[in-house]
Each structure stands twice: as structure tokens, then as C-alpha cells.
Amino acid sequence: MSPTPDSTTAGRPLSDINADIRCLFARAEGRLRDDERVRHAALLEEWASAIRASVVTAA
């Protein structure tokens, strides 16, 4: 079975992380300040970790 966007294998659901990223850009109106860029980078790393954790290695 393939992973879903709501996979919780690595902590928070991917959909929650994605929602946080979208909210960050919505609040910033598309232009991030330095502190928001740091938060965005952290969210992207969290998202990438969750994606890696949801991948099933082929036999």
C-alpha cells in the first residue's frame, strides 16, 4: 500500500506540515522575513523527513 498525505510514520502528519507551510506563506503574503525563512527551512526538513520515513523499501 502506498503512503498517504496523512502518513504519521515520522511524527506529525504530512498534511499538518503542509498546512503549516501554506499558512506561513499566507501570513507573509508570499514574502518571508529572515525568521520566517528559518521556520520555512525547518518545516521543509520536517516534511522531507516524514516523506523519507513513509517510503517503503522494495524487496
Contact present, 5 and 50 (Cβ < 8 Å): no
Q: How far apart are CA 48 and CA 56, in angstroms?
A: 15
Contact present, 15 and 8 (Cβ < 8 Å): no
What is the pLDDT, as a whole number, of residue 57?
Answer: 67
pLDDT of 14-51, one tens digit each? 999 999 999 999 999 889 999 999 999 999 999 999 99
Q: Which three cell numbers stand for residue 26?
A: 499566507
Contact present, 24 and 43 (Cβ < 8 Å): yes
Length of the chain: 59
To the question of pTM greater than 0.85 for the whole model, the response is no
